[in-house]
Copies of this chain bind each other. A is one copy, B any other.
Amino acid sequence: MAGRKVLIVYAHQEPNSFNGSLKTVAVEELSKQGCSVTVSDLYAMQFEPRATRNDIVGCLHNSDNFSYAVEATEAYKRGCLSNDLIEEQKKVQEADLLIFQFPLYWFSMPAIMKGWMDRVLVQGFAHDFPMCYDTDMSDFMSGDIRYILWPMQHGIMHFCGVKVLEPHICFAPEHVSEEKRKEMLIAWAQRLKTLWKEEPINCSAEWYFK
């Protein structure tokens, strides 16, 4: 629609690819409509996917125990995120429509685009709540935790012929007591003692979705 702003976040190495053609089609059609279209061409930008200390300009909130979630949130508040992130956030903020154009890699998006999600969608900017299972968000997260294991365990490991054991999940370690955390670590060590005797799960759709 005329006057609307569109951001296409695009992840393909090759302009002549089918993904490249889909992106071009979108730019052309939306421009024809009078939209102003911006493309974040992640490979061409050599977009950084790794969430590291480099994303925070200047001093850290707590450099003894680097927490990316905490540091990025604080840096966002203080306007101290790295420039590449500020640029992307501006584009997102202005956009009426976001299009993510990518080939499926392992039941999910390519790492370079996952890095865009991890780094650009900082708490405070893109959402207000810390993300974690086992808190206020439990309703939203209501999806069984197994739903999100499907792409990783079944899509990747089972596909490659790896036998999959039960996942070992520590819920929201940053939101529980020190004592509870110690217990979680002991439970993990305990499990490892007998891990070799465990039977693999029956890694089929039933296990994940009942």
Using a CB–CB distance below 8 Å, which chain A residues touch chain B? Answer: 1, 4, 13-14, 16-18, 21-22, 25-26, 28-30, 33, 43, 46-47, 49-53, 64-68, 97-98, 100, 104-112, 114-115, 117-119, 121, 126-127, 131, 133, 140, 142-143, 147-148, 150-152, 154-157, 159-162, 170, 173-174, 181, 184-185, 188-189, 192-193, 195-196, 205, 208-209
A15 to B29, CA, bound (A): 49
Are the C-beta atoms of A150 and B147 separated by less than 8 Å? yes
A189's partner among B25, B117, B192 (CB-CB below 8 A) is B25
A209's partner among B1, B66, B147, B195 (CB-CB below 8 A) is B147
Which of A29, A68, A114, A195 counts the most chain B CB atoms within 10 A? A114
Q: Which residue of the partner chain B has the closest CB to A97?
A: B195
Are the C-beta atoms of A14 and B66 separated by less than 8 Å? yes
Contact status of A111 and B49, CB under 8 A, knowing A150-B147, A154-B143, A192-B29: yes
Are the C-beta atoms of A117 and B50 separated by less than 8 Å? no
